[in-house]
Copies of this chain bind each other. A is one copy, B any other.
Amino acid sequence: MNALYFSANFANLENKIAMILLDGKKISAEIKAELKKEIEKIKASGGKIPHLAAILVGNDGASETYVKSKVKSCQEVGFHSTLLRLKADISEAALLAEIQKMNQNPEIDGFIVQLPLPKHISENKIIENIAPEKDVDGFHPINIGRMTKNLPAYIPATPFGILQLLERYQIETTSKHCVVVGRSHIVGSPISILMARNAPIGNCTVTLCHSKTKDLSYFTQKADILIVALGKPEFIEAYMVKDGAVVVDVGITRLPDENSAKGYKIVGDVKFEEVAPKCSYITPVPGGVGPMTVVSLLQNTLFAAKKQVYLPNPF
């Protein structure tokens, strides 16, 4: 692993700092290259090419973007992919019927239902009807429960991406104090569980903070590893971060920006320019956790195709 030293391309950083960017773009490209090689081997030996399907209900702009990026990534590494578009007014029963078809289709190794769903449909009911062995998003309670019990499971893509980023940069986690900000079911809650598990990337003392936390900076200032998944742009300021901390920024928000040709800029939950100089490692936004999420979904799909998580008997 080449350490990517951060030399000042931000206006108010004048000196070269021994801070290392957790470069999700670079690492995800490396993992994609590894996946591509593996697919070529599978092809050469006549094995089954992994096949990811995505169900997109309605026409939400952000959901379109996410799903397209997933399909595109499948193509890049040589996976098969299917995009099933359904109308926003589809009934819950009709969506459940489509899920049953996916569950039973031996061609499809794993599939996801892009969230959020229209309000007349219960997301929880939909998720629980996905066959656990095809639930490559890792949102089915049985996968969450197995993950919690440190049993074989699909780990949700964003937390899985964070673990891999820490692993590839060989960041020591054992006995570190990890503070997680945000308790969403998709990121904060599972990453807090994962970082505390008895596992190579784990074994942290973990503090989970959230909207009801009093005096948040009291906790964030104590973090050796700070993982922020709040969805509040540039919320974490320099005074909230300990010198030498590892900072993982899961936030991604578009802010209006007159100076940009696009009219917006993408920012994370961390004020990067002022926080970065204090860190030993930090993820940029964009180009940090984001690209790791998509590649982790591909890895889960490969596990599914190879029956590496759910064998006939996983124990």
How distant is A175 from chain B, measured CB to nearest CB, in Å? 4
* Chain B residues whose CB sits within 8 angstroms of the CB of A198 once the complex forms: 183, 210, 212
A196 within 8 Å of B by Cβ? yes
With A141-B151, A145-B142, A175-B213 already in contact, the answer to whether A205 and B183 are too (CB < 8 A) is: no
**Interface residues of A, count at CB 8 A:** 39
Decide if A63 is an interface residue (CB 8 Å cutoff).
Answer: no
Q: Which of B128, B146, B205 has a CB less than 8 Å from the CB of A141?
A: B146
Say whether A206 faces chain B, with CB atoms less than 8 Å apart: yes
A197 to B185, CA, bound (A): 10
One complex includes copies of this chain to the number of: 2
Nearest CB of B to A244, in Å: 16
Query: B210–A208 contact, CB under 8 A?
Result: no
A255 to B224 alpha-carbon distance, docked (Å): 39
Contact (Cβ within 8 A) A125 B196 = no
Mask of A173-209 contacts with B, CB within 8 angstroms, 1/0 = 0110000000101000100110011100001111111
| In contact, B219 and A209 (Cβ under 8 angstroms) | no
Q: Is the CB of B175 within 8 A of A212?
A: yes
Distance in Å from the Cβ of A185 to the closest Cβ of chain B?
5
A37 close to B (CB within 8 Å): no
**Closest-CB distance, A66 to chain B (whole angstroms):** 21
Chain A residues close to B by CB (< 8 Å):
122, 124-125, 128, 140-146, 148-149, 151, 153, 174-175, 183, 185, 189, 192-193, 196-198, 203-210, 212-214, 219, 313, 315
